[in-house]
Structure 1
């Protein structure tokens, strides 16, 4: 069995569409990964974090306890920092975003239960000036142990 890391699983969840997305979800849910894909757009950093956390809690990917919430927060912060290319700010510097986010929870490497539980967050989409046509693609990923 070819092993795939949780980061690649989350990346492909964010990037794939249509039948390829469905096959990807089916394959990794069979391996006991929890997967979620959503969309959010905002000029406010807090709304992006809230969308990711709300989705993870609503889909029962994390429970309401410090360890799990903390892992999700840091994975999201890593992804957001990379997505914003190190400047973790949007509206205050007149930047807007529209993005797809994905969350994957499971083993660090598929087929390796000894690696324990990890969570990966990927943010992929458009970032730029809040004017149509003044944006470009960006991507960020964060991975944390649960």
Structure 2
């Protein structure tokens, strides 16, 4: 039950969100993926934007609860990284401007381990005043 070295789903998602040229590596593996951008003072809008992109680009099937549920947990884990464990934005006068990458595939050597989904976030967080933000990054991985 080991991860395949060339199929580190989290690493690939992080590289992809930082540099879209890594999309080709994800594509070579035959994995589902998409990217997008979101900016908001509300965490629910960040979650909604990522879920919408995943459904629209057929990374997940929105009719299957376990797929939406797995994506949700990956998003929340990634948001914990961006927000340093406090998934609050507007209520504490913070805003984010993020790029995201969603990657779905089979990172284990054994096919029985099934599919996993990774959400990588990169961008800025800070006070809702232009120029008063700083970089932030987050990663969430969950099994489907």
Same fold by TM (over 0.5)?
Answer: yes
TM superposition score normalised by structure 1: 0.90
Deviations 1:64-119 (A, max 9, x none): 2111010000000100111100011000000011010110000124x654432000
* Mapped pair 1:99 → 2:98: yes
How many residues in Structure 1 have an aligned counterpart in Structure 2? 140
What is aligned with 1:46? 44
Residue in 2 that maps onto 1:124: 122
Partners in 2 of 1:116 and 1:32 — Cα distance?
A: 14
What runs of 5+ residues in structure 1 fail to find an aligned partner?
none
- TM-score normalized with structure 2 length: 0.91
Tell me which residue corresponds to 2:138: 140
- 1:74: which partner in 2? 73
Q: What residue in structure 2 maps to residue 8 of structure 1?
A: 11
Which runs of structure 1 show a deviation greater than 3 angstroms over 4 or more consecutive aligned residues?
111-115
User: Relative to structure 1, is the Cα distance of residues 27 and 38 closer, same or farther in structure 2, using a 3 angstrom cutoff?
Assistant: same
